[in-house]
Every structure is written in C-alpha cells, then in structure tokens.
A = this chain, B = another copy of it.
Amino acid sequence: MLWIMSRNPEEPVYNRIEEARAALGLSRQDLADRAGVHYQTIGYLEREEYSPSLVLALRIAKSLNQEVSELFSLTPLKKGK
C-alpha cells in the first residue's frame, strides 16, 4: 500500500495565523502548546500546506482570541484587518 504524502491539498484554506501569532509575540511552539498540537503543525498551517481540522481551527482561534472567520477563509486574505 502506498500513500502519496498529502502536503498541498486541492482545497486550500487561507489564514492569518502567522500575523495574529506575531501580534501576540508568540512563537510557533508557544501557539502549538496553547492549541495542544505539534509545533510543526503550526508551521504547515502558516505555510498553507494544508488546512486544519475544525477542532484545531477552533482551538487556534481561541488561543489567539479571534473568531474562526477572522483567521480562516476560503478566499485569499489581505494583510491587516
């Protein structure tokens, strides 16, 4: 059985995680700890190599004090706001 490594799904989700994280002065490891995931998972998300599960999106939003819709979008996000 072979698995073609995912990393780059067909359906991207744009996000503002890095921006929001930086605004709080948190490292990826810090955010990962708050959200209860591996720090590299945060990296994958910020690089938009894949989109998070809803559970993770909800945890990240809470960790960054943001609404899910403020952090994640099906359409490209502009900087700021």
Contacts and interface: CB of A to CB of B under 8 A. Distances in A.
Given A1-B1, A68-B68, A73 B55 contact: no
| Copies of this chain, whole number | 2
B57 A57 contact: yes
Contacts of A51: 53-55
Interface in A42-56: 51-56
Interface of A: 1, 11, 13, 51-59, 61-62, 67-69, 72-74
A52 B52 CA distance: 10
Nearest to A51: B54
Contacts of A73: 58
A13 B56 CA distance: 10
A51 to B, nearest CB: 5
A62 B75 CA distance: 13
